[in-house]
Amino acid sequence: MARVQRMLDACAELLDESGYSELSTTRIAERADVAIGSVYQFFPDKKAITQALGLRYLDMFSLRVTGRLSEGVFEHWTEAVDVVIDEYLDMHRNVPGFRSLHFGDTVDVRLLDSVDDNNRVIADRLRDLLTSIAGVDDSDTLDTAITVAVESADAVLKLAFRRDPDGDPLLIGEAKLLVRGYLGQHFTGNRPEIGWQG
């Protein structure tokens, strides 16, 4: 619905301008040019709006990674690591609100899901992409590997953006190296031991 999308766009703009602490349903309604009642028709409070925005970012991220992974055959599986990190970086730099919200940790570590933390939700989504697009066999080993890779990359990339608003290139490179090296313990050559079929 167009009104909801306008509210989410307004939320993203306001997050970039003044952060979550200054965000309010009133300000979102004003920026989206809708009545405050329209906001409450869909969202009980500002947290619910930021949750919807975080889920929109997750869907956008998934679509972008899916598109990149589907473009062609990689010479080596590590190129998939670069795709995932590069898409995250591009969203951080160019998608309104993402720099402030990411996938929701600034608001609540369980913003995307009431049971699992945000990184767990992202890891599940990436695991689904790898099994459906790249033909990786799903397993407990894959689940653990993706979970550790997401947590590690998240920590180093947050540090990269704390050091440089556009992301410290050295630390970005280190994040890629870290994830490749870790996954390399499970993957051998061009075919991972955990089931790469591409």
pTM above 0.85, yes or no: yes
DSSP 8-state code for residue 95: S
Which stretches in the chain have pLDDT values below 70? 72-74, 77, 134-135, 187-198
Exposed e or buried b per residue across 26-36, where buried means at least 16 C-beta atoms within 10 angstroms of its C-beta = ebbbebbebee
Instruction: Identify whether the C-beta of residue 93 lies closer than 8 Å to the C-beta of residue 102.
Output: no
Element (H, E) at 192: strand 191-192
At residue 196, the pLDDT reads 46
Every domain of the chain and the residues it spans:
54-192
User: Token digits for 40?
Assistant: 């409450």
At residue 72, the pLDDT reads 65
The fold adopted by the segment(s) 54-192 is Tetracycline Repressor; domain 2 (1.10.357)
